[in-house]
Amino acid sequence: MSYEAVIGLEIHSELKTNTKIFCGCATSFGAEQNTHVCPVCLGLPGVLPVINKRVVEFAIKAGLALNCTINKFSKFDRKNYYYPDLPKNFQTSQFDLPIAEHGYVDIEVEGKTKRIRVTRIHMEEDAGKLVHSGNTIKDSNGSNVDYNRTGVPLIEIVSEPDMHTAAEARAYMEKVKSILEYIDVSNCKMEEGNLRADVNVSLRPVGTEKLGTKAEMKNLNSFKMVESAIEYEIDRQEEILDDGGHIAQETRTWDDGKGITVSMRSKEQAQDYRYMPEPDLVPIITTDEEIAEYKKNLPELPDARRARLVDEYGLSEYDAGIITNSRAMAEYFDDVVAAKVDAKLAANWIMGDLAKNLNAESKTIESSPVSADNLAKMIALIEKGTISSKIAKKVFDEMWQSDTDPEKIVEEKGLVQITDSNAIEKIVDTVLAENPKPVEDYKGGNAKSIGFLVGQVMKLSKGKANPGVVNKLLKEKLDK
Amino acid sequence: MKVTKKDVENVAVLSRLTVTEDKINKYVDEFNNFLEYADVLQQVDTASVKPTAHVLPLKNVLREDVIKPSLARELALSNAPEKEDGYFKVPRIIE
């Protein structure tokens, strides 16, 4: 039988605040264990949590950027469960009146736009971290707990089960990340767990409506993991269903090393969170005026920015999509084209050599060794014909080593393009004299062999001859 | 709705309490008494009353996002039954 996968995501994003959601402890990553804790986040008796104003602001911004309705009356609730990463035995979260609901995100997959509905966004506190002593989890005689992360503010973004392939789920998560970066509410550093997803997957026979039993995979913190885990899970469930089996409703964990999902705990014997209104926190009321003000102050979002790059600079949808996917890259692009250089050339250099070098050295564009200013100057040199594209690659490499003014590099290294026809003609003559075979081939009708001759001229000129002039001269002489 | 023995056992599991066999029937009766009392409250017409989110007439109690000193780790760990290398130590967790 053929099946359709039904996929929903719960994305947890840590907010970029200085302090925790209910106390003044710092949120910075990587501190020594249990040094960012206080009576409130340790859940000592008699303490009173107070909501961090910025958390509410960030959650509302995220709600609006994801096209949600902001609930003007919102409250916190206690979600009860026992696990040592929660010192209070409950997580302070939101249940029936989350800060935002009914939104959507548009994604593009294989050239088609698709709308993924966002069910809700709620605020909650993150849990602590368990560290297992002993060599492996099996021989450890205990678990160690670090409560530094307990109380770090999170928003949880819950989607409707509107996705049907791993690629759609990935595109959705990428888009959400991009939007959160644009509105500057989360660092979105996935390797630090700033952004992670719980993924629900179920299958149903193609053409049917009724949802199958789902399995949930928790805490996936890379796009690759989300994609691989979904693909694996679809195959696993398909095999079980084809064999006439039934899918157990359960939580599974993705084993990245082995590339499989493994059962963690069964959900069949009811998880009962016994939500209750949080009596220590009072409701959050937001007025229409405040919401309008937030809306007004939202920055340009990825979709709008992309449309602008297409309209204003004539970039292709695809290129504009890549550049605007990350806010930092979009800003870098804007800085380069602010110097009035050719936008398409700028896009090609940013997506090409710059991106390639950044990836190779695992650098972000914010810490690019080549500044937007210098890249713009280099592109201007290409446009003026001072250097060829080929020489530009050398200049770029020099700039990558030391962010030097490209004009200075060109001057110091003697990289100025030779456009003087007389100088080039000499080289062309030498090449023609030294390569009788290709010359004969060309004259015998093999037009392609001119490429070889151009290459030889470029080589002899150390890449400095203007390729246009070289081509023209070669043709003139060969066609004589 | 009548509380059964199974409900009591479930509540005990959720609350991490051990209830001995001889006490279960006693709790079944007590639970049912609570619910019967709740039934009395159910008779009040609340159609025009908004659900209570909080008993105090307060809203938007917020603080600025400013870092305050945390506890010294020694002090934070001082009530822990077990500790190791600056961590709280708990029994091995595997589900």
Determine the average pLDDT of the residues in B4-22. 89
Q: Do A142 and B92 touch (CB under 8 A)?
A: yes
Q: Average pLDDT, whole number, for chain A?
A: 90
Select the residue of A50, A279, A284 nearest B63 (Cβ to Cβ): A50
Q: Which of B9, B10, B14, B87 to mutate to test the interface with A (most CBs of A within 10 A)?
A: B87
Q: Do A23 and B68 touch (CB under 8 A)?
A: yes
pLDDT band at B31 (very low <50, low <70, confident <90, very high): very high
Angstroms from B76 CA to nearest CA on chain A: 7
Angstroms from B58 CA to nearest CA on chain A: 6
B11 contact A CB<8A? no
pLDDT digits 0-9 by tens, A136-148? 555 567 889 999 9
3-state secondary structure A434-476: HCHHHHHHHHCCCCCHHHHHHHHHHHHCCCCECHHHHHHHHHH
Enumerate residues 6+ apart whose C-beta is below 8 A from A438.
A449, A452, A453
B44 contact A CB<8A? no
pLDDT digits 0-9 by tens, A342-363? 999 999 999 999 999 998 998 8
Select the residue of B62, B69, B87 nearest A53 (Cβ to Cβ): B62
| pLDDT for the residue A9 | 98
A36 contacts in B (CB within 8 Å)? 70
Q: Do β-strands A73-74 and A250-255 pair in parallel, antiparallel, or remain unpaired?
A: unpaired
B93 contact A CB<8A? yes
Chain A: residue whose CA lies nearest to B57: A282
Q: Do B93 and A84 touch (CB under 8 A)?
A: yes
Angstroms from A141 CA to nearest CA on chain B: 6
| pLDDT for the residue A402 | 86
pLDDT band at A118 (very low <50, low <70, confident <90, very high): very high
Angstroms from A51 CA to nearest CA on chain B: 5
Specify the range with the lowest mean pLDDT, choosing from A212-216, A297-301, A454-458: A454-458
Q: What is the DSSP string of A7-59?
A: EEEEEEEE---SB-SSS--B--TTPPTTSS--TTTTT-TT----EEHHHHHHH
Taking the CB of residue A363, how many other CB atoms lie within 10 A of it?
A: 12
Specify the range with the lowest mean pLDDT, choosing from A9-23, A90-104, A431-445: A431-445
Max avg pLDDT among A92-96, A390-394, A433-437: A92-96
Q: Do A19 and B84 touch (CB under 8 A)?
A: no
| DSSP state letter for A162 | -
A26: its two tokens:
């710092």
| pLDDT for the residue A319 | 92
Strand order in the sheet with A129-132: A129-132, A142-146, B87-91, B83-84
B49 contact A CB<8A? no
Q: Which of A47, A79, A144, A263 to mutate to test the interface with B (most CBs of B within 10 A)?
A: A144
Q: Do A24 and B60 touch (CB under 8 A)?
A: no
B77 contacts in A (CB within 8 Å)? 34
CA of residue A304 relative to chain centroid, distance? 17
Select the residue of A25, A52, A84 nearest B63 (Cβ to Cβ): A52
- What angle in degrees, to the nearest 10, is found between the helix axes of A421-434 and A436-443? 90
Angstroms from A274 CA to nearest CA on chain B: 9
B17 contact A CB<8A? no
**3-class SS of residue B44:** coil
pLDDT digits 0-9 by tens, A450-459? 888 888 888 8
Max avg pLDDT among A209-213, A429-433, A458-462: A209-213
| pLDDT for the residue A140 | 64
Q: Are A96 and A130 in contact (CB under 8 A)?
A: no
Chain B: residue whose CA lies nearest to A144: B89
Max avg pLDDT among A267-276, A302-311, B85-94: A302-311
pLDDT band at A270 (very low <50, low <70, confident <90, very high): low
pLDDT band at A413 (very low <50, low <70, confident <90, very high): confident
B61 contacts in A (CB within 8 Å)? 50-51, 281-282
Percent share of chain A, pLDDT over 70: 97
Angstroms from B20 CA to nearest CA on chain A: 22
Q: Judge whether residue B95 has pLDDT over 80.
A: no
Angstroms from A466 CA to nearest CA on chain B: 59
Determine the average pLDDT of the residues in B63-80. 96
Determine the average pLDDT of the residues in A287-299. 96
Q: In order of start, what are the domains of chain A with their CATH numbers? A: 3-290 (no CATH), 300-412 (no CATH), 421-479 (1.10.10.410)
pLDDT digits 0-9 by tens, A302-329? 999 999 999 999 999 999 999 998 899 9
| pLDDT for the residue B30 | 94
**Which phi and psi (to 5°) does residue A145 adopt?**
-120, 130
The C-alpha atoms of residue A380 and residue A396 are separated, in whole angstroms, by 13
In the stretch 54-83 of chain B, residues with CB closer than 8 A to chain A read 54-56, 58-71, 73, 76-77, 82
Max avg pLDDT among A7-16, A243-252, A318-327, B35-44: A7-16
Q: Are A234 and A201 in contact (CB under 8 A)?
A: yes
Determine the average pLDDT of the residues in A27-32. 91
| pLDDT for the residue A440 | 86
Angstroms from A80 CA to nearest CA on chain B: 9
Q: Which of B9, B17, B92, B95 to mutate to test the interface with A (most CBs of A within 10 A)?
A: B92
